Amino acid sequence: MKIICTVEVSDRNLPSLNLPSKKSVRSSLAIGKSGDKELYILHQTNQNGSGKKYKINNANVRTLDNRILRLRNLCVLYLENNELTTLPEQLGSSLPKLTEMHLRDNSLGLGGNWKWIVNGNLQKQLKLLDLRSNKISVLPDKLVKLANLVTLNVDDNRLESLPNALGYMRSLRFFTASKNQISYLPGSIKLLRLECLDLSHYVFCEKLNKKVTAKDFLFVPPLVDIAAACVITKRLYFSEATLPQTLIDHLESASFCVCGKPCFSQQPESYIPYRGLCDCIITTVNRRDFKISVRYCSFQCYSKEERLFFPQY
Ligand SMILES: [Zn+2]
């Protein structure tokens, strides 16, 4: 049988084995073919872990081989067009140098386990995350913890909204979310300094700007909201070891007032036109039709926004 495929071999010399110079040892390499699909597998040698790039594309892989986690120097991981529904939780702690993850065409939205995002170094190291075509209905709030992510691609999923705290991904410059059902953006998006925002197939927002009155702020917030706002404002550290998951979910669901204060579901919400600063917005609708959802911490904050966006009132 003749197999034709592209083969990339990185780092065939294994310096960590301390072999005499000039003598090289090959990485283990497996090439195969599954049905009529191209199967492209490059196995870096596990013992040495010196490979920097790992690709398993188009291979119908359902679970990731844990031996990959031994590749301590791995920087770029390609797992495109497989059948993955989740990734190992220890991915970030085992691969401390990982900066790019190419996960297009999998089923990560069906698995719903995103704990791998917050473990280990991914929060500090990851620069690129490609989650195109993953059947994702709701992006996990944990995503915004990827503080140094520069490029995020969530095209061709089932999203109707984006995480409230998206704007707190301060390093994000290239964000594409085309081919979804998104009809409004989180208010925090105003904080981003994007160079490119792709919202092709944006769905026109039917939700009208709701008139908010001073009376809407006359309520006593639940204690859990007051405590959560305090934790966020003071940037107190929390993890699964210190808080129950329900409280972590609550903290991560916070949205943010135009002044930056955290808000929760009791605070009045409104939809206002998006006038973000972005060098390049790609969209199929009029830019003026974009709306962002904003919760207000006080009537003063609402009044300020109202004057800015709705001077006719
Ligand atoms: Zn405010």
CA of 298 to the centre of ligand 1 (A): 6
CA of 306 to the centre of ligand 1 (A): 13
CA of 276 to the centre of ligand 1 (A): 18
Answer whether 167's CB lies under 8 Å from 275's CB. no
Per residue in 120-139, pLDDT (tens digit) is 888 899 999 999 999 999 99
Q: Which range is least confidently modeled, 141-155, 276-290, 295-309?
A: 276-290
Higher pLDDT, 200 or 24: 200
Kindly report the pTM of this predicted structure: 0.73
Q: What is the pLDDT of residue 100?
A: 94
CA of 305 to the centre of ligand 1 (A): 10
User: Ligand 1 is a single-atom ion; what residues have CB below 5 A from it?
Assistant: 257, 259, 261, 297, 301
Q: 167 Cβ partners below 8 Å, 6+ apart?
A: 186, 187, 188, 189, 190, 191, 192, 256
Per residue in 197-245, pLDDT (tens digit) is 888 877 766 665 667 888 999 999 999 999 999 998 888 888 888 999 8
CA of 165 to the centre of ligand 1 (A): 15
Across all residues in the chain, what is the average pLDDT? 78
Q: Categorize the per-residue pLDDT at 1 as very low, low, confident or very high, splitting at 50, 70 and 90.
A: very low
CA of 266 to the centre of ligand 1 (A): 14
Q: What is the pLDDT of residue 152?
A: 97
CA of 178 to the centre of ligand 1 (A): 30
Higher pLDDT, 196 or 29: 196
Residue 269 has pLDDT above 90, yes or no: no
CA of 194 to the centre of ligand 1 (A): 23
CA of 263 to the centre of ligand 1 (A): 9
Strands 37-38 and 100-102: unpaired
Residue 196 has pLDDT above 50, yes or no: yes
CA of 15 to the centre of ligand 1 (A): 57
Residue 32 has pLDDT above 70, yes or no: no
CA of 225 to the centre of ligand 1 (A): 15
Rounded Cα gap, residues 41 and 51, in angstroms = 13
SS (H, E, C) 158-170: CCCCCCCCHHHCC
CA of 145 to the centre of ligand 1 (A): 23
CA of 123 to the centre of ligand 1 (A): 28
Q: What is the pLDDT averaged over residues 267-280?
A: 76
Hey, is 27 helix, strand or coil? coil
Helices (H), 54-99: 91-94
Closest to 48 (Cα-Cα) out of 19, 22, 71: 71
Answer whether 271's CB lies under 8 Å from 243's CB. no
Rounded Cα gap, residues 187 and 140, in angstroms = 17
Residue 177 has pLDDT above 70, yes or no: yes
Q: What is the pLDDT of residue 118?
A: 84
CA of 228 to the centre of ligand 1 (A): 16
